[in-house]
């Protein structure tokens, strides 16, 4: 087995949210979003599902902005899939001409964050493969934790792999017929999918398309989210669930169990940062969970102040929660320049400070002589909060107390999230007191791990989500499974 | 004189704010932003002003996103200007390679909204011209109201004009020597600028660069804003003022008077919509003016409700003002998808509604069974508010009361702002009651013109801004000057 | 097995020669060129083989201009290949930056004609695959005649295929371990290649690269050419030969036999049209063979005339041969406009004639009152010769006698050459007399098949090329092998 | 007046002929081609002249390949011109979409060689200007020899110039009304053109378009060629002639005299190298003149040999002439690779030789043991002939005698032709004996200046071209006019 470095160790930058698409300085980022769709009988026949998938991908665009793809099929006797993939945002890839070619009432789509442009075009998803049992389309989000083992298995079967991507690996692993998987000459894709899930239980969401069916698959640990619905997403797919979507409706094929009675491990950072605030996971709205984080943060770290405010926009929900819990009024203190992209070469500290000023403007009349509690959702490298504090002070703030609505980030993720190396995570170098000093804050405090767990559990409908459990590996170092990697 | 249509009558779409860069459906847009800079003596010599101008243009990017340009000079004996202009956002035009060529300690920059891409590259500003008295750089924001008259004057002097742009017209008008403008063989640019300002008193902000000087010029009516500062903008240039910026400092050359004792006419929509909320005009912060609009709106149009909210983000400042004045708590009810661009072909009403859903997500837990007052800054064509109201109701809102923090838009602007034709302005077709019905609101109300004037005057420092007056032409039809156009 | 149409049946245009790169109207075209190289011990170590491969590909550029690729390796313990592939001409794909990344002393390259741009980028060769026995690079020229059978075999082994290309098929077929192919844990690539050649004996040239070796492979029928040399190509690879090139030198691994004692079948159109005139095949220079075709044509079809001339440049060698054999002086009568590309929309016959005039100019003083014999290498669709004759007559030619230095083209090729469908081949519709009338020639005659065979055999060194035999399928319908397709 | 260097002194490379479009190493190049057209009454109304102009520009493409433009008008009351200009070859600029916009029955076109891509887009011709007397389109070929003087005049009249191009200068000079130029309120463009021709008598061809007329203008010295015709060019415009083309026909407005009774000065290198061989100048076909150059060269420099050959394709006409005069048979010895572009980084002499081998292939069977006379049209830097000689010798040539069908190039051109600096011209460093040694030729000889003059005069129809005279400045240093530059 060769020693090509896993991409998880490569140096990568960029936070995937909308406001800083090409920023080099900060944080974590999500790698992908997937979407599948079948137009059922009463669907107006003149509407191709590609339009619906496009809408779905736009709604997932915050999970990846560098390439996008859609594969559709007319089902039935049609033998070919229609494919359109390309580098760039969804709206640039799927122009009118592209949409016209994407005929059919079945389809899957993918949006993705990739590190290098041209050379990676071959890695754009969905993948389409011709197999002995017909054409198959595959799109996935996440990362196969034991990919080396799976790769060796595939190679040993005489298959050549042309990329290092998990997608090609998953695709070829699905093609390799598991013992007894075919019945009466018909391809038994559910059996193959189950086989794959046992070979590789963590971590991914998959959508697969064959002749007349789309499958939605969520890994047994439930680490990556996946939703299911009619037009508008309404239910989460259960951990380990294989859902079949066809013209006749939606049905659960099976629910694959976790190994060793391991508990469920839904990524807790989906609540903190990744997900859109109107998403609903485990029965609760993400915005509400963030509001709860703010309330809990106020309970844990209250300090005397005139106003509560936020670094827009990721900290705003928590700031409103903090304000309501503490009774300290909320007021905006920063306005954001939406056009700021990469930072220019800045030959002096003076200009560097101006560089920060570019991205945010201080609302001086709201700050003058005020004691401010400033809420942000998380701290990764810690290099943006300092200049913001400087900006607030220059605009007249008397005190600035930083409150972070999540615990310190200390460990890498091997489950599809790009987090800087341990060495780059500021929390591994400076405790809150030193970090306050380093950034120029009067005080700085984090939400506790227990507080975060409390916040995201509070509204859970216990009947439906009784086995709730979260992956907190990046905060605690406790990974969900003892897989050999 | 030929009859080529003025561009103000051409069909154009697109609102220049960050969230909907290529949206076809809505509103008004600002056409340009200008910026000039001279690095004075103590400036670190290794820093080219181009970096500072870039920062300045990024801060002005919301005023134009389709082309950008910078012209710099090393001053003194150097005979050539360094020029870099191009279609696209600032960050794409001014890459590292471009920045290296922009040497020098003097410079001007421009950011612009243009309607068609390739064919308009020749119109990118700043313009550079070689004249009998050396090289001159020119960038402007605004629109020459009596351009036909000025154009005929220039043509009659034997000059050929290669474009229809005001920029080329201004440039050639400056080159035509006015009587007695040169003194002792030296070019008397201030006299030429004054001459131009008398020929064309409305409406523009100009920055000009010659050998060792940059001039900042604001039209006598003060219709377009222009600020002046050291690193950070601190003062507005007075209406009619010509400011000279050179290594020896900043000085006022003259203040050109308005014709007929006309009052000042600063564009009131800069407060309502165009300007960044951290800008300071006439001694007051734009955010505060918007907050006041919200307070005034509450006084004029209060209704019983559970929460006050806004269409993010342009209505948020006013919503906080409304909340404070009324005592009704503020809560967010919409989250925004930052990646939404142009609308896809949508073959059915069902999909069209989904199309709106793409751009905003409703925060259902905040809305459930609530009576909501929804604040927006303005209504132009009125085709976005309806689907938003539908979205809120679908998410559980019991009542939706729309409150607009500005008066009805009813008239075209000839002073540099693109407003849809009178016929496209919804306020010319539906009164508030009919518009409420049309959009599905329970009630709908605007701020009064008097209320708006009150809001933007309230904090003015009377000593410095005693002659304050605003252009409300788009709201009242009262244009600032009776110029023949 | 699904019924996706073979690309050989697809509608394609364009003649691959240099003078008409995007012409839609005419002829046949070659699909690919391949090149492999190993730098042996005394090679100056500072020179990467990529430069040599580039030169080689440029020399092969006439065999394909739409994409190009090079794969190199540093050999020994290095685990990764360096890959650069892209759409476009060689000089645009392999810029300085690309060349810097192509380190190593082993490499293979490919140049290719593809039909559609963006969507085909995944098909650019060489292919690189990771296998259980290390990395493998593959480039091929030609077409697997029994590809459906081979494809079914590969699919039935549980391999998914993501494209319809022969390249991916060859690659995966090589990866599937044949019985007993591995020895002592070492990969036995020669055994795998032999296995492939037996599964698919027709038609291709292949270059393969593994850790420390490059293999050159020519199909058993010898249908596609492949040369071998030190810096400059000197010898043809024998039909069926597998050549291994490594640091220790060049050696023949084996020569795979043709099935059923079939005779050799080298494509005779390489002499007529495809090959560069300085190429040497079967011991003779292509230019000389063309000269002989001209001589033979004079023997078979002489007519009284003042001058012999050619359609530049493909007919010029034959025209010189015709002139020498007949004693009629050669003179140029057409000059070519090198910049003519696709034909514009031409709304009238008059303009269409001008369109032809664009591509060629008549040298009137050479034509005035002359009886002209005009030589061309071949006629495909027959739509360019008519306007040329018109042009010559308008410029004063008294008679125009067309002589074609090859027999009528009547049948499709399934061995890597794109020929229009039978229906589009003019020779299937009009005999020489009717074609003369149709095109406006006084007379028109072809070289006979026997004459062509005579011309290309005449100089052959019988010792080295005793088993010479040619494929004349496109002229006679006699295909080299009775393979089931 | 500032001292920006004239572009004629800038370092530029590239020979404008078709075979080596991006070659850096060699020669001279022509800068532009112009074309004008009016569709007269019986013209089929559904055909826009843009198609005809396109054909014309393609025929002129060898005179400039980096940008192209067409301006058309519907004449009569229409006030606007239709403009399409762009960087690139004609076929890429004028796609179907562009052609659709170029309505009308009047038009002018331009094709141009420019040195730098993006920044020069503003310099693409034709220029269109709005003037006090309507719209004017201007395209020119050549170079204003006394441009500094003309520039100062224009600037002193209060006109700003935005580029350094002669085109803008010509345009503005035409707009400046000369004394008494207007009659009865109607614009008197012919008087303005005459005025310009007196201010700047050398060297250009111009086409101008106003409302209903196209003007063709050739400079009084006749230095640049310009032809006139109905569909197909038939007559040269006389030196100094202003031709008016309108719906009512073609008429000569006037013929402007040369200053000081200077003789005519048609560029002799048009015959040697620039023009297409089917062009007719001064009553003779260019191909015939080149044939005569070859005959004359044989008379002056004959040497014993087996064959006469040429460097394809520029030397072929002369080689045929040499062969006929000497009786030594002509044979091709080099085949050309049409795909060779810029030379790659070549780290050794060995590879550099291979680099040359790329561009030409030697036809060894034609060369073996032969004494070869090799004809080329001209020698500029002298760095390509050496490797060609090496190639011929390696392929078996016994002797190589180089014969150049023009005299040594020794002086710069200020009249629109880009020639390397004096120092780069090899003839200024090495006499024929030393150059033969330097390049590896057995002998090397040039045509004499008198021989060249003889060759280009021989067929002239004395009645029509009695005052024939040629500019030989680049060969003799005798410039046609003593203008102050």
pLDDT tens profile C321-341 = 999 999 999 999 999 876 654
Distance CA C405, CA C291 (A): 9
Q: Is the CB of A171 less than 8 angstroms away from the CB of C177?
A: no
Question: Peptide bond before A476: cis, by omega within 30 degrees of 0?
Answer: no
Confidence class for position B229, pLDDT limits 50, 70, 90: low
Q: Is the CB of B339 less than 8 angstroms away from the CB of A99?
A: no
**Residue contacts between C and D (CB atoms, under 8 Å):** 159
Cβ contacts of C92 on chain A, cutoff 8 Å: none
Cβ contacts of D162 on chain B, cutoff 8 Å: 127-130, 171
Q: Is the CB of C341 less than 8 angstroms away from the CB of D285?
A: no
Q: What residues form DSSP beta bridges with D398?
A: none
Give B1→chain D minimum CA distance, Å: 8
| D348 vs C44, C348, C365: nearest CB | C44
Cβ contacts of A136 on chain C, cutoff 8 Å: 160
Residue range B33-218 forms a domain whose CATH class is alpha beta
Chains touching chain B through at least 3 C-beta pairs below 8 angstroms are A, D
* Residue in C with minimal Cα distance to A128: C162
Cβ contacts of B172 on chain D, cutoff 8 Å: 159-160
What's the average model confidence in pLDDT over B193-203? 89
pLDDT beyond 50 at B476: yes
Q: Is the CB of B128 less than 8 angstroms away from the CB of D176?
A: no
Cβ contacts of D42 on chain C, cutoff 8 Å: none
Distance CA C130, CA C139 (A): 15
C188 has binding-site annotation: no
Give A241→chain B minimum CA distance, Å: 27
Cβ contacts of D160 on chain B, cutoff 8 Å: 129-131, 136, 171-172, 174-175
Residues 6+ apart with CB under 8 A from C313: C19, C336, D313
Distance CA C205, CA C217 (A): 6
Chain C interface, Cβ < 8 Å to A: 2-4, 79-80, 86, 118-119, 121-122, 127-132, 136, 155-162, 164, 171-172, 174-177
D149 phi and psi angles, rounded to 5 deg: -65, -45
Chains touching chain A through at least 3 C-beta pairs below 8 angstroms are B, C
Q: Is the CB of A130 less than 8 angstroms away from the CB of C162?
A: yes
By the 10 Å C-beta count (0-12 exposed, 13-18 middle, 19+ buried), B479 is classed as buried
Give the Cβ contact number of residue A347 at 10 Å: 13
Q: Is the CB of B160 less than 8 angstroms away from the CB of D171?
A: yes
Query: Is the distance from CB of B145 to CB of B414 less than 8 angstroms?
Result: yes
- The per-residue b/e assignment along B92-128, b for 16 or more CB within 10 angstroms, e otherwise, is ebbeeebbeebebbbbbbbbbbbeeeeebbbbbbbbb
Model pLDDT for residues A149-208, shown as the tens digit of each residue: 999 999 988 899 988 888 889 999 998 866 565 666 677 888 899 999 988 888 888 999
* Residue in D with minimal Cα distance to B136: D160
- The per-residue b/e assignment along A264-289, b for 16 or more CB within 10 angstroms, e otherwise, is bbbbbbbbbbbbbbbbbbbebbbbbb
Give C160→chain A minimum CA distance, Å: 5
Residues 6+ apart with CB under 8 A from D195: D178, D181
Q: Is the CB of D55 less than 8 angstroms away from the CB of C331?
A: no
What's residue C1's pLDDT?
27
Is the confidence metric ipTM above 0.90 for this complex?
Answer: no
Cβ contacts of A95 on chain B, cutoff 8 Å: none
Q: Is the CB of A2 less than 8 angstroms away from the CB of C175?
A: no
Model pLDDT for residues C6-40, shown as the tens digit of each residue: 333 222 222 222 222 222 234 565 556 777 777 65
Whether C and B touch (3+ CB pairs < 8 Å), yes or no: no
Give C91→chain D minimum CA distance, Å: 7
Binding residues of D for [4Fe-4S] cluster: 267, 413, 471, 474
Most confident of B126-135, B334-343, B361-370, D358-367: B361-370
Model pLDDT for residues A86-99, shown as the tens digit of each residue: 887 787 788 888 88
Q: Is the CB of A347 less than 8 angstroms away from the CB of B51?
A: yes
Q: Is the CB of A18 less than 8 angstroms away from the CB of B339?
A: yes
| D160 vs B83, B130, B158: nearest CB | B130
* Percent share of chain C, pLDDT over 70: 78
| B378, two tokens | 């303005």
Lowest mean pLDDT among B118-122, B129-133, C221-225: B118-122
Question: Peptide bond before C126: cis, by omega within 30 degrees of 0?
Answer: yes
Confidence class for position A265, pLDDT limits 50, 70, 90: confident
What's residue C345's pLDDT?
41
What would you report as the CA-atom Rg of chain C, rounded to the nearest whole angstrom? Answer: 24
Is the pTM for the entire model greater than 0.90? no
Model pLDDT for residues A430-484, shown as the tens digit of each residue: 999 999 999 999 999 999 999 999 999 744 554 555 556 899 999 999 988 765 5
Give C221→chain D minimum CA distance, Å: 28
Give B109→chain D minimum CA distance, Å: 17
C148 has binding-site annotation: no
What's residue B452's pLDDT?
96
Residues 6+ apart with CB under 8 A from D466: none
What's the average model confidence in pLDDT over A64-72? 83
Q: Is the CB of D4 less than 8 angstroms away from the CB of B121?
A: no
pLDDT by residue for chain D (485 residues), tens digit each?
232 223 332 222 222 222 222 222 345 655 567 777 776 544 445 567 888 888 778 777 777 777 889 999 988 766 689 998 888 778 778 888 888 888 888 899 998 775 433 345 667 889 899 888 889 999 988 888 888 899 999 998 889 998 888 888 999 999 886 656 566 667 788 889 999 998 888 888 899 999 888 999 988 888 888 877 665 656 778 888 888 888 888 888 888 888 888 888 888 998 998 888 988 888 889 999 999 999 999 999 999 999 999 998 889 999 999 999 999 999 999 998 766 543 344 444 555 555 555 778 899 999 999 999 999 999 998 888 998 999 999 999 999 999 999 999 999 888 877 777 889 899 999 999 999 999 999 999 999 999 999 999 744 554 555 556 899 999 999 988 765 54
Q: Does domain B266-474 have CATH number 3.40.50.2020?
A: yes
H helices of A47-165, in order, are 49-59, 90-93, 96-101, 147-156
The domain spans of chain C are 33-218, 266-474
Chains touching chain C through at least 3 C-beta pairs below 8 angstroms are A, D
Cβ contacts of D348 on chain C, cutoff 8 Å: 44, 47
Which of B160, B169, B175 has the highest number of chain D CBs within 10 A, making it the mutation to test binding with D?
B160
| B22, two tokens | 């290529």
Which of A5, A156, A158 has the highest number of chain C CBs within 10 A, making it the mutation to test binding with C?
A158
A474 has binding-site annotation: yes
Distance CA A206, CA C68 (A): 35
Q: Is the CB of C339 less than 8 angstroms away from the CB of D44?
A: no
What's residue A342's pLDDT?
39
Catalytic positions of D, written as ranges: 32
Cβ contacts of B122 on chain D, cutoff 8 Å: 121-122
Catalytic positions of C, written as ranges: 32
Which of B130, B166, B188, B208 has the highest number of chain D CBs within 10 A, making it the mutation to test binding with D?
B130
Q: Is the CB of D79 less than 8 angstroms away from the CB of B174?
A: no
Give C363→chain D minimum CA distance, Å: 5
């Amino acid at each position: 087995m060769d020693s090509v470095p896993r991409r998880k160790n490569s140096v990568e930058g960029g936070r995937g949210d909308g406001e800083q698409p090409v920023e080099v300085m900060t944080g974590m980022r999500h790698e992908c979003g997937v979407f599948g769709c079948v137009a059922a009988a009463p669907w107006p026949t003149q509407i191709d599902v590609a339009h619906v998938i496009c809408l779905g991908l736009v709604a997932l665009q915050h999970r990846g902005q560098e390439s996008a793809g859609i594969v559709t099929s007319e089902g039935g006797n049609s033998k070919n899939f229609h494919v359109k993939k390309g580098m760039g945002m969804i709206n640039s890839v799927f122009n009118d001409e592209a949409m016209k070619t994407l005929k059919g009432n079945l389809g899957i789509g993918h949006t993705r964050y990739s590190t290098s442009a041209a050379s990676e075009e071959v890695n754009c998803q969905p993948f389409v493969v011709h197999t002995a049992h017909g054409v198959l389309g595959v799109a996935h989000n996440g990362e196969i934790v034991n990919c080396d083992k799976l790769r060796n298995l595939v190679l040993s079967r005489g298959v050549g792999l042309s990329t290092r991507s998990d997608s090609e690996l998953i695709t070829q692993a699905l093609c390799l017929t598991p013992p007894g998987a075919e019945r009466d000459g018909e391809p038994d894709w559910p059996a193959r999918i189950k086989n794959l899930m046992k070979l590789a239980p963590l971590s991914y969401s998959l959508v697969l398309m064959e002749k007349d069916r789309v499958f939605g698959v969520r890994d047994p640990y439930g680490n990556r989210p996946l939703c299911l619905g009619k037009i508008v997403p309404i239910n989460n797919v259960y951990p380990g669930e294989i859902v079949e979507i066809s013209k006749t409706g939606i049905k659960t094929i099976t629910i694959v169990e976790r190994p060793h009675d391991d508990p469920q491990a839904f990524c807790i950072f989906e609540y903190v940062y990744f997900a859109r605030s109107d998403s609903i996971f485990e029965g609760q709205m993400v915005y509400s969970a963030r509001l709860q984080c703010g309330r809990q943060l106020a309970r844990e770290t209250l300090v005397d102040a005139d106003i509560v405010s936020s670094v827009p926009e990721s900290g705003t929900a928590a700031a409103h929660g903090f304000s309501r819990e503490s009774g300290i009024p909320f007021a905006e203190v920063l306005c954001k320049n939406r056009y700021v992209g990469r930072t220019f070469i800045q030959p002096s500290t003076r200009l560097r400070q101006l560089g920060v000023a570019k991205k945010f403007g201080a609302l001086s009349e709201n700050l003058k002589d005020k004691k401010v509690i400033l809420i942000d959702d998380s701290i990764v490298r810690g290099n943006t909060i300092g200049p913001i504090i400087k900006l607030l002070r220059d605009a007249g703030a008397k005190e600035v107390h930083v409150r972070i609505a999540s615990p310190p980030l200390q460990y890498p993720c091997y489950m599809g999230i790009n987090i800087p190396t341990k060495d780059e995570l500021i929390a591994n170098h400076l405790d809150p007191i030193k970090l306050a000093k380093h950034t120029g804050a009067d005080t700085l405090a984090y939400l506790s791990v227990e507080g975060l767990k409390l916040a995201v559990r509070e509204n859970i409908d216990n009947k439906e989500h009784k086995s709730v459990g979260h992956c907190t590996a990046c905060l605690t170092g406790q990974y969900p499974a003892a897989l050999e990697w």
